Each structure stands twice: as structure tokens, then as C-alpha cells.
Amino acid sequence: MAFRLYLYWHAWRLNLQTKKLKLLKHKIMKKVTVTFTAILFFLGTAIAQDDNSAKHNVSIDIPTIAILDIEDADGEAASISLEPNIDVLEAGDAVSFTGATDNSLWLNYTSVVTDGATRTVSAKISSGASTLPEGISLVLSVAGASNGKGTLGTAVSGDITLGASNETIVNNIGSCYTENGATNGHNLTYKVAMDNDEFASLVATNYTVEVTYTITDN
């Protein structure tokens, strides 16, 4: 009798352990299934991010530019000469400087400005202004721009007497270019003006002055 009870108890315990093993196996399989499903979901999501198009940024850097030069028919100009015509001068006449002119030079420039900005071109006698005799003036006139593209500058109208300080000759320059060389940009006309009340100051010699053009931001 005791032996039979022992067998029943042993069978019951073995059955209990079997059930526990089945339950543990089920939990393990469930965990593995959940983990495997999560991995598949992650891989599917990652793969789904690629499609039949792609994009990236391209940076285009446009610098500010402000350059100019003075050109004649032979290229970048070096010097010009102004002198009165005395071939028809009669005794007793004042020396006339009416014919002491030159219009062979052209102002060329290229400008790229920031949004809303403008530039100005100015001119001055940077060297030799003080050597000119009393009554003699160097006068400049600037024509409107020919050719070129963009927001070309507006030439100051009328005669501009040059001195040691900058005088504005072209203003309201935006992003533009005049094209290069003679016949492009602004034609420059130089002439000599004489105040006859200062005729006594004239001395027969060569006077050389240097004229400097500058393009600046407003």
C-alpha cells in the first residue's frame, strides 16, 4: 500500500514538472518570436526608408566684386596730354585752352553687391594738384554707360573740376558689368579750364598730375 502511494506521488510530481517544462518552453518560444518579429519590423522599416529618389544640399557662394580700370584703344591707359592750340593765335590774343581736350579714355567696371547695396565711383587728383598754377583747372565730364548689363551706374552730369579730394562721378551702381575696353562703359572727357584773371601765374613748363578713380560702397 505504501509503495503504491509512493508511485502515485512520484507520477504526480513528474507530471507537474512536465507541465512546468512545457510552460517554460512556451514562454521562451514566445519571447524568441516577439524578439524575431521586432527585428524583422526594424529591418523592414530601415529598408522602407530608401526609395527611387535622393537629395542633398549644394552651396553656391557668390562673392562681392568691385573692380575698375581706365581703357583706351590700346588697352589699359597710361597717360594723356592736354595743351592749347596756338597755331591760329594772333598777337594780343589770350591763350585759349578750348582745344585742350581729350576723350580717348573709358571707365570700365564690374560690380556684384549685397542685397540692396549700391556703389559709387569717385575721382581725384592724387598727385601734383598743388603744382598747377593759379587759374588752371583740370575738368572732367562723364558720359552715360554704353553697352554692359545689369544695374549700371548713373553718370554725374556736367563738368566736374578735379582736385585733391574725391569727387563723385558715377553713382547708384548695382550688380553689373560695362564690358571691357574702349567704347565700353563711360567715356571720359578731360579739358583744361583757364581763369584769365590769373594769366600772370602761367609758367611755360610741363605739369603732370595723377588722377585716381575709386569704386566704393555707399
Residue 50's pLDDT band, with cuts at 50, 70 and 90, is confident
What pLDDT does residue 35 have?
Answer: 45
> 198 with 114: CB under 8 angstroms?
no
The pLDDT tens digits for 166-217 are 999 999 999 999 999 999 999 999 999 999 999 999 999 999 999 999 999 9
* Interatomic CA distance for residues 160 and 143, integer angstroms: 12
| Domain ranges across the chain | 1-49, 65-217
The sign of the dihedral angle between the CA atoms of 196, 198, 203, 209 is: negative
SS (H, E, C) 194-211: ECHHHHHHCCCCCCCCEE
The pLDDT tens digits for 103-150 are 999 999 999 999 999 999 999 999 999 999 999 999 999 999 999 999
| pTM assigned to the model | 0.76
* Interatomic CA distance for residues 191 and 177, integer angstroms: 27
Q: What angle do CA 124, 126, 127 make, to 5 degrees?
A: 135
Pairing, β 136-142 against β 160-161? antiparallel
